[in-house]
Amino acid sequence: MLSKNTLKYLNALHLKKYRQQHGAFLVEGQKSVLELLAAHFDIELLVVSELFYKENKPVLDKQPFRLEIATPAELARAGTLQTNDAALAVVRTKPNDFLCADANEYVLVLDDVRDPGNLGTIIRIADWYGITKIICSDSTTDWYNPKVVAASKGSFLRVRGYYCDLPVYLEQQRAQPIYGTFMKGQDIHQVAFGGGGYVVMGNESNGIGQAVEKLINNKITIPRFGGAESLNVAIAAAIVCDNLRRMGGVSSKKHEAENE
């Protein structure tokens, strides 16, 4: 049975203020927790159902972290998911280490993306297409928001994020191509991607901000054939990543090694 203090701590981590204060975040659900156990993250506490413990006892008994058994009702009260009868972990956040594009590498850049579901989906899309770095403006939603972690479906374990003053950051990266998605620009299907660089995606309602737009040297657009006013930013990111991959613009060492 979870103590009142433990339950209070877990509930506090639903909020960004306390995630930052404690340097910790939540990972919820059987699949995500099992992936977490094999990743390079420091686990502070694991709360599991009796069934989850019995099914994974050989692995769990070898772990150095604190482990508590809880009822499904306690797991529901402690977490943010509507249904979670398996496991919940408290994990230490990673430091906000500087990231940039290496040679022949493309990196996604998010300017003021506010919706946690969109960020989580973009992380998942990046992982699918072999992109391992995402640069975020300081105003982009928190990487460790429970909704971001849930929407990423475990991809947050493989994709790294870096938060910064985006105009200052991009000013320092102008030696490389900086692409940005706009309603008016070069048709993405005609863009000769290759050689690495940055691809900027903008805010859900307002697109890329003026301060960032000034630093973009390649404006691209996804051509519209119907009457929709705009595309969801995560859907747009998927289309961009697919075009990068098809044009040979994304280097995937793992993919290359598998095909040698």
Q: What is the DSSP letter of 86?
A: S
Distance CA 86, CA 33 (A): 9
The count of other CB atoms within 10 Å of the CB of residue 21 is 11
The helix (run of H) or strand (run of E) holding residue 135 is: strand 133-137
Average confidence score pLDDT of the chain:
93
Domains of the chain by range and CATH?
4-92 (3.30.1330.30), 106-253 (3.40.1280.10)
**pLDDT per position as a tens digit, 87-106:** 999 999 999 999 999 999 99
CA 152 to CA 27: how far, in whole Å? 11
What average pLDDT does this structure show over 64-77? 93
Sheet holding 66-69, edge to edge: 24-28, 87-92, 43-48, 66-69
Q: List Cα–Cα distances, 233 to 2, 4, 120, in angstroms.
A: 40, 40, 11
Residue 257 has pLDDT above 70, yes or no: no
Residues 103-149 pLDDT 10s: 999 999 999 999 999 999 999 999 999 999 999 999 999 999 999 99
What would the mean pLDDT of 193-201 be, rounded to a whole number?
Answer: 92
Mean pLDDT of 221-229: 93
Q: Which residue has the higher pLDDT, 26 or 61?
A: 26
Which of 193, 207, 198 shows the shortest CA–CA distance to 242? 193
